[in-house]
Amino acid sequence: DAKTTQPNSMESNEEEPVHLPCNHSTISGTDYIHWYRQLPSQGPEYVIHGLTSNVNNRMASLAIAEDRKSSTLILHRATLRDAAVYYCILSALNAGGTSYGKLTFGQGTILTVHP
């Protein structure tokens, strides 16, 4: 699986939008972009995923660059509960392939939210 690059840490204020960047310059055409987050002392939690088009769900939005070499996770109004480590992960999904959606976690971005 191709690798991703994320900033080690970011800070935000409560109720402000947060844009978490991720670079994945070696992404292949079959790679999905996944975002997970891990709150302190908990297991990772699915946030969002996408392939080519921007995606929205109740938790966040995912903006994918036209060349797919980067993406941005957008939290529209940060809350204290959003303080977590955010992981950007690529995974190829091929029904006949071998990745089976295996996720390779990097170090992620530690998001601190200030009251």
Partner 1 sequence: NAGVTQTPKFRILKIGQSMTLQCTQDMNHNYMYWYRQDPGMGLKLIYYSVGAGITDKGEVPNGYNVSRSTTEDFPLRLELAAPSQTSVYFCASSSGGLGYTFGSGTRLTVV
Asked if 101 is part of the footprint of partner 1 (rule: CB under 8 A), the reply reads yes
User: What number of other Cβ atoms are within 10 A of residue 92's Cβ?
Assistant: 18
**Which residue number, 80 or 93, has a Cβ lying nearer to partner 1?**
93
Asked if 15 is part of the footprint of partner 1 (rule: CB under 8 A), the reply reads no
Total residues at interface with partner 1 (CB under 8 A): 22
Asked if 107 is part of the footprint of partner 1 (rule: CB under 8 A), the reply reads yes
The single residue listed with the structure tokens 């310059």 is 25
Q: How far is the CB of 72 from partner 1 (least distance, A)?
A: 20
DSSP string, 30-93: TEEEEEEEE-TTS--EEEEEESSS-EE-SS-EEEE-TTSSEEEEEESS--GGG-EEEEEEEEE-
- Which residue in 15, 69, 93, 114 binds partner 1 (CB under 8 A)? 93
Nearest-angstrom CA–CA distance, 78 and 18: 7
Site track for partner 1 across 52-91, x = CB under 8 A: -----------------------------------x---x
Asked if 42 is part of the footprint of partner 1 (rule: CB under 8 A), the reply reads yes
Asked if 46 is part of the footprint of partner 1 (rule: CB under 8 A), the reply reads yes
Nearest-angstrom CA–CA distance, 19 and 27: 20
